[in-house]
Structure 1
Amino acid sequence: MSFQILGTGSFTPERVVENEELSNYVETSDEWITKRIGVKQRHVCTTETTADMGEQAARRALENAGVRAEELDLIIGATISADTISPGLAGMVQNRIGAHCPAFDINVACPGFLFALDTAAGFFERKTVKKVLVVSSERMSGLVDWTDRGTCCIFGDGSGAAVLGEGDSYLASELHTKGGEDVIAIPTWWNNSPFYQKELRKNCVFMQGQETYKFAVTAMPADIKAVLEKAGLRGEDVSIVIPHQANYRIINEARKRLPEIDPEKFCVNIDRYGNTSAASVPILLDEMNRAGKLRRGDIVVLAAFGGGLSNAACVLRW
């Protein structure tokens, strides 16, 4: 027993920031950002919170699935930008949509949605749940340094969710973590103690771009190959690939390293949303679902990488 995806949902704030507008905050241009990252615009919160976005994505996923909130047996949140340490994103969403079930968050940065799916699979395997909501929501605009063009040009805000039900469509997964803060780090301010003497770093995204690139272009193709082998599938069997939208050059390099999968099967929306961290994969998944690009029986591959350093992939039968 694993699960099947019953429905998807997503939400992004109304405010859109195009590349040229960023030149008001940092030395950059549309040409520079487009060439190096592939982003043309991103959605940013003005009044919305992480929980606000998560609630909307959850409601849309429930509607798409034809499932009532009261039917949920579990909610798993995936975020690095929760509004509060406690309650977490999942608990806030549970309260707002009127669900009555356990709810907890996981923090694995950009691969968080995939780690959450694998966590949910364990509950289905033990037959302790029948319907689960997985929701990822990120307000990255509040975590970037808007004077650092190496990071502020990349990220955007948004949320994505999926409702899972009993089934056998989750075919294989691959999860990895290589702990450390040398490549990507987002420090947290724990500065209330009068006894702590060590200097605290600013709580914004610190990232070594070149090292992140090298990590990603190796990890993503390797994970996709691994899950296909576990599932007894070939690249030719894949109907669609939903990769993490971190950088267009990374996605393009992954295509080249997976020649057995048609390059056209790799979906891209980074130009319109930027990198929304853990929300990236479910936003794109929802977009493809609502566009009618996913058909029953399709083999769908999800892959992501990010802070931790962590990386993950899974293969589903739609």
Structure 2
Amino acid sequence: MTTLGIAITGSGGATPDTSLDNDTLSQIVETSDEWIATRTGIRQRCLSGPEMPLSDLAAAAAREALEMAGLNPSEVDLVVLATSTPDDLFGSASRVQHSIGASQAVAFDLTAACSGFVFGLVTVAQFLRTGVYRNAVLIGADILSRWVDWSDRRTCVLFGDGAGAVVLQSTTEEEGLLGFELRSNGAQNKSLTLGYEPQAQALVEGLEVSQGNYGRIAMNGQEIYKFAVKKVPEAIEKALFRAQLTNADLDWLLLHQANQRILDAVAKRLNVPSEKVISNLARYGNTSAASIPLALDEAVRSHQIQTGDTIAASGFGAGLTWGAAILKWGGSV
């Protein structure tokens, strides 16, 4: 079987209309704009209302990506939704597939937390490279406000809601995914969790089952920071090596938008100048699997990213999981 390349031909993004700035957040927990901004770089975040389903955000981003790519939804073969917050525990990708009119596509969810988009990108690429499918939509979307402890100022200041999407197409021309590195370390799983909280329910005498719920996001911020600034540069360097490129070949560094301090530290370790680091963290906060495609879409639509630019994208987060992908942007606005 001939191995094909992939082209990234379209991007899209969607966020809720409601935003919460740091000053307003300080009315909920003991904090301040200065405290949040100096420690994280975040000034505000978008929040979904109680009636907004994740699938609506995801579908909106996907439609924008399809429009930019000039691809009819009926031509889509594959829809992958990277999310940790589906509307339905059985998954939301099929609902998105129906919503965007991709009637011929197979759809499934993929969960790798804040690394989900990068893991999804590599997963989709395998289907396209083998020729099994030709056209795919990859969406990263999360509504973390559903699971935030709004009394915990260590975590509630960080997270926002959003969705980002890309269209990927098989090609015999220039390759769009030049190299990648994916990693996991379950030994550090407790550093960032959103755990199930079991409650025993008796069915008959001597037989109980669990009928609990999920809790709230819990994070050891210091451990996550140390993990990210060490492991992310390593992953990017390995991906660059596989792409037969160096740091100097990069036009852009696009990291998961978790904390500006992490972005700055990773860029410094890689010797990437600050003007090459893409950041929209101040406006959206940490949108988990949505953060990379959402920032990518903004940079493309503002003509910051140009056709043919080389991008190092890296996600990192719960699991713990992390990964990097060296991309060549193939679309145009």
Alignment partners' CA distance in 1, 2:7 and 2:17: 31
Task: State yes or no: 1:292 paired with 2:303.
Answer: yes
Identity, % of aligned positions: 39
Shift of 1:300: 1.0
Hey, what does 1:98 align to over in structure 2?
101
Amino acid in the other structure paired with 2:48: C
Distance 1:67 1:193, change over 3 A: farther
Amino acid in the other structure paired with 1:217: V
Distance 1:155 1:18, change over 3 A: same
Distance 1:283 1:192, change over 3 A: farther
Hey, what does 2:117 align to over in structure 1?
113
Alignment partners' CA distance in 1, 2:212 and 2:193: 13
CA deviation digits over 1:226-277, x for unaligned, max 9? 1111111111110111111000001111111111x22311111110000000
Choose 288-297 or 242-251, whichever is displaced more. 288-297
**Which of these residues, 290, 305, 308, is aligned with residue 316 of structure 2?**
305
> Given that residues 83 and 111 in structure 2 are in contact (C-alpha distance below 8 angstroms), is that contact kept between their aligned partners in structure 1?
yes
Alignment partners' CA distance in 2, 1:216 and 1:313: 12
Alignment partners' CA distance in 2, 1:190 and 1:61: 40
> Given that residues 27 and 149 in structure 1 are in contact (C-alpha distance below 8 angstroms), is that contact kept between their aligned partners in structure 2?
yes
Question: Which structure's CA Rg is the greater one?
Answer: 2
**What aligned pairs does 1:248-267 form with structure 2 within 5 A after superposition?**
248-259=260-271, 261-267=272-278
Task: State yes or no: 1:182 paired with 2:190.
Answer: yes
Hey, what does 1:4 align to over in structure 2?
7
Alignment partners' CA distance in 1, 2:167 and 2:200: 39
**What aligned pairs does 1:64-75 form with structure 2 within 5 A after superposition?**
64-75=68-79
Instruction: Give structure 1 stretches of 5+ with no counterpart.
Output: none
Alignment partners' CA distance in 1, 2:101 and 2:209: 44
TM (norm. structure 1) is 0.95
Instruction: Give structure 2 stretches of 5+ with no counterpart.
Output: none
Task: State yes or no: 1:219 paired with 2:257.
Answer: no
**Which of these residues, 122, 139, 146, is aligned with residue 126 of structure 2?**
122
- Post-superposition, which runs of at least 4 consecutive aligned residues in structure 1 deviate over 4 A? 189-193, 195-202
Alignment partners' CA distance in 2, 1:29 and 1:257: 30
Task: State yes or no: 1:273 paired with 2:278.
Answer: no
Alignment partners' CA distance in 2, 1:191 and 1:121: 41
Choose 1-10 or 201-210, whichever is displaced more. 201-210
TM (norm. structure 2) is 0.91
Shift of 1:307: 0.2
Amino acid in the other structure paired with 1:292: H
> Given that residues 73 and 102 in structure 1 are in contact (C-alpha distance below 8 angstroms), is that contact kept between their aligned partners in structure 2?
yes
Q: Which has the higher strand share?
A: 2
Pairwise CA RMSD of aligned residues? 1.6
Task: State yes or no: 1:173 paired with 2:185.
Answer: no
